[in-house]
Structure 1
């Protein structure tokens, strides 16, 4: 597979959100001349409603299984794509970039990788529906409307948060959250990424200043873990929460990434 610049962009959703939420981004990138691929996590059904009715295929799915799912997809492409991921999808995007399976990557409000030590109260509260019970490691957990409001929609009017919950929220596997919280004491953690690679493609990390699920102090520390001459950029949207890629102001974020992706074209 060629590592030359590709005109394909792969979008990876985060925990608790159906991949169809990327549809506006895919349309924007396709209008700009890219081929867009929107692909859900392994076990996610074709629609949010179907996933809610039968979330069992997502039980126990962790970061390695998710990463390998996308790696297999990428290996079928003629060239490595741009990879854009949100939340834990942002962790997977970084893992794929480190493996040479992305020409460049954008990690929006990415979940914590190994080495991140910041743990704000808002993040603890957002993760509590999962980590409060060890049995959730092997099953799926659905957020309530109120929990979604705190973790995703806190920077939005309540009416918009509720509408997004009804449209996009799905049960998600608990395992990635346990893997992230246990990373510090786990050898070869699936949340571990080589942040010293010099020969990988460009990386952009985006933080939301009002994010509760992955507070901006966490994304900033994640960025600071990178000690490499490879291009690693950081951007904060101060007034945005964890819903920033699929709420009514999604285009603000998408336009920024579109310009960054174009500016960091990788040549053959």
Structure 2
């Protein structure tokens, strides 16, 4: 039986941005799906028109949503998540709901302490107004360029923005920001789980939104588990690494790692 793969996107990108990955993994013999977040409309245009559809959804809502998707699959899937999707993938893996996970430039989990200035600047459009916790927030093309497209040309960043950028709920960012002060934070991941499947953390060295120091601090959170936890560095890549013209290098690397672990 072919292994299911569930792609989980992060903030400000639509689920359809995974389409090239879906096609590649299909060709490689997997059965991939890329469901949107709770309430997410089916197209980029609809998502832009109805930001309220995703507003006020927090981390727990998203985890429960994808757990329901997983429950409908014939076997434990491989999870591939980007940004907040990478955090969601780690939570689901820690709950033994997946065979393995690839977390690409994953949002910080509870216990991760570094808070680089570039990450604060990238998320400022949300944090500048406390009311954004219950709203969906859009990025401007200039904000997208800093947060996602700083390692590609200005033209490519604009093209990616025009094609994939959508409003995102502010709530997950507020929850992640408060994680280390909240004993019951939804950003907590079971990093000590010895029985979980393999985990690959992927980091882009030029990422402003989730800098390499955050991913390395995430890796340290897994030091008490003997389950496989690997890290792959792409020094010249930024937060757009799953959608820009170099996406294939990340996808091929993920496929090679999965095969290496018999997945």
TM-score range, shorter chain: over 0.9
SS of aligned partner of 2:20:
helix
> Could you tell me which residue of structure 2 aligns to residue 48 of structure 1?
44
Quick check: 1:139 aligned with 2:121?
no
> Could you tell me which residue of structure 2 aligns to residue 77 of structure 1?
73
Quick check: 1:249 aligned with 2:246?
yes
Gaps of 5+ in 1: none
**Counterparts of residues 197-212 of structure 1 (less than 5 Å):** 197-212=193-208
Quick check: 1:261 aligned with 2:258?
yes
CA–CA distance in structure 1, aligned partners of residues 2 and 27 of structure 2: 16
For 2:92, which of 92, 96, 99 is the aligned residue? 96
For 1:58, which of 50, 54, 67 is the aligned residue? 54
Question: 2:10–2:82: 8 Å Cα contact kept in structure 1?
Answer: yes
TM-score of the aligned structures, taking structure 1 as reference length: 0.96
Runs of 4+ in 1 over 6 A off after TM superposition: none
CA–CA distance in structure 2, aligned partners of residues 60 and 66 of structure 1: 11
CA–CA distance in structure 2, aligned partners of residues 65 and 48 of structure 1: 21
> Could you tell me which residue of structure 1 aligns to residue 125 of structure 2?
129
CA–CA distance in structure 2, aligned partners of residues 251 and 214 of structure 1: 20
CA–CA distance in structure 2, aligned partners of residues 18 and 66 of structure 1: 14
Q: How far is 1:6 from its partner?
A: 5.9
Question: 2:70–2:77: 8 Å Cα contact kept in structure 1?
Answer: yes
SS of aligned partner of 1:205:
strand
Q: How far is 1:265 from its partner?
A: 2.5
> Could you tell me which residue of structure 2 aligns to residue 9 of structure 1?
5
CA–CA distance in structure 2, aligned partners of residues 20 and 262 of structure 1: 25
Q: Output one character per residue of 1:116-174: Cα deviation in whole Å (capped at 9) or x when no partner.
A: 11011100000110011110000100000000000000001000000000000000000
